[in-house]
Structure 1
Amino acid sequence: MTTARTLSIVTVTAHRPHAPEYHAYSTMLMRRAVAVSQASGWTVEVVAAEDTSVVETLARTDRADAVVLLGGEDIAPEYYGAARGYRAEGRHAERADEAQLTIARRAVDRGTPLLGICRGHQIINVALGGTLVQDLGEGSSHRRDGEPIERVMSTHDVELTAGTVLAGSLIDRLGRVVSTQSAHHQAVARLGSGLAVAAVAHDGLVEAIAHREAPVLGVQWHPEDPGAVRGQFGALLAAVTEPALAVAA
């Protein structure tokens, strides 16, 4: 008898009354990630980290076979040694920050497969001591500022780099050049401990990071977006989870 594989998908919050359009789009992305994961055989639990205590979030994700950290609000700058007051700064979710940063460190320590998307990608970097570019400025090609939420995604290519075993696996699954959907105004700056660059954009921005030893991957783009290449989210999740789960079995 095969035991069901459990996946924790960790979001920031299930409630954004101050930003209903953004919340509706974020919820749609989460549901798409859940649907693909379930179709791949995962038993999925969604945890909204800002809506409960850090202790409960850590407890609910403690026994998961793998974890996905989805996108959302900017990480509070205190966590990476920076100041508030930058351009395009919005609300922060410090309880979610603390819980997700701890989840990322725990995944590295335990060797738990972890996929970070957009904010989740940045969480992995900050959790391991890295820093962020706080704002890419107006006119960035990585987000369509001033557009309705359904048109905020920017389509651009990234080039994968084979700096780690995990990054090499991505190239095998996706190819060297990947079309992506992104909507970010921040980016990875200094890499965290143990991390390597796994993809870069045309302007040199880090678009993916992979841990050198643990099955931990972050991508700055949104493979769960409706405009993403079909099968991209599933391929990224498989690249992180399949080798680790095969060893565990």
Structure 2
Amino acid sequence: MTRPLIAIPARFSATTSALRYAAEVNARALVEAVWRAGGEPATIHPADSDVASRLARFDGVLLPGGGDLAPHRYSAAEVHDSVYDVDDLQDAFDLEVARRAVESGVPLLAICRGLQVVNVALGGTLEQDMGGPEREHRHVVHPVAIRRGTLLEQAVGAGKAEASCYHHQRVDRLADGLEATARATDDTVEGFELPGARGWFTAVQWHPEDTAHEDPAQQGLFDALVRAARQHGERRGRLPDHP
């Protein structure tokens, strides 16, 4: 069976084992989770041009985690000392991918930085730092409560999940139209969706790829993305219909 093609924007890396120079990468666990779901993961080069036509070749999009967005993208506030790995080209590309994916209705799963990118792309803001090591969600696995009747609940198959987190920033103000679908016990927005969106879309602040190999609830997010991507590809005639 032809695998739906899932676009995953690359992350810039200054050094990478086995390569002599700077690289463009994606997490192996992320790629493997898409593959297990039946998708064909394709890393795409961050180039802020002709994004709409480039995305039109794909059946789905996955916006992955990564470094921080430049604060000037969503706020005029002074830059917090903890902001790291900002790259203007990466930001410009990811933001355009988010806008184009939502506008076109191509199935979209956004993870960690990806969630933050979508929020900013649609006009929301971020909290630059959650308050230091005692309050941030780095190297943390904690329960999140999931709203009933959401695409997120359908994907994970439950009203709660154990979320593997690695972030020191979080949503401050949700963009107009977005609705929170999951929260941590400290009220951090751990997921959101866009009711009435043209296509399948959900976003999570945690990293489902960390535990997807052993947790069906986390793998369920990738399964749901690929199912939606297959349906999208079939409607466009790019993929053959299957029973």
TM-score grouping bracket, smaller chain normalisation? 0.7 to 0.9
Match of 1:117 in 2: 111
Q: Which has the higher helix share?
A: 1
Higher relative CO (Cα under 8 Å, sequence separation at least 6) belongs to: 2
Alignment of 1:36-185 (within 5 A): 36-49=33-46, 53-55=47-49, 59-144=53-138, 153-162=139-148, 165-170=150-155, 173-185=156-168
Equivalent residue in structure 1 for 2:173, among 156, 167, 190: 190
Percent of residue pairs identical? 32
Amino acid at match of 2:132: E
Q: Distance in 2 between matches of 1:140 and 1:95?
A: 32
Q: Secondary structure at the match of 2:183?
A: strand
Q: Give, in angstroms, the shift of residue 119 of structure 1.
A: 0.3
Listed as ranges, the gaps of 5+ residues in structure 2 are: 17-23, 236-240
Opposite residue 199 of structure 1, the aligned amino acid is A
Task: Choose 223-232 or 35-44, whichever is displaced more.
Answer: 223-232
Q: Which residue is 2:203 aligned to? A: 218
Say if 1:58 and 1:97 are closer, same or farther in 2 by CA, change over 3 A: farther
* Cα pair 1:74 1:89 within 8 Å, conserved: yes
Residues 178/132 of structure 1: CA separation in 2 closer, same or farther (3 Å cut): same
Normalising to structure 1: TM-score of the pair? Answer: 0.80
Query: 2:19 matched to which residue of 1?
Result: none
Q: Is the Cα contact below 8 Å between 1:181 and 1:228 reproduced in 2?
A: no
Query: Quick one: which amino acid aligns to residue 175 of structure 1?
Result: A
State yes or no: 1:236 paired with 2:235.
Answer: no
Amino acid of the residue matched to residue 235 of structure 1?
G
Aligned residues: 225
SS at match of 2:209: coil
RMSD between superposed Cα atoms in Å: 2.6
Gaps of 5+ in 1: 19-25, 145-152
Q: Secondary structure at the match of 2:207?
A: coil
Distance 1:135 1:226, change over 3 A: same
What is the SS of the residue equivalent to 1:63? coil
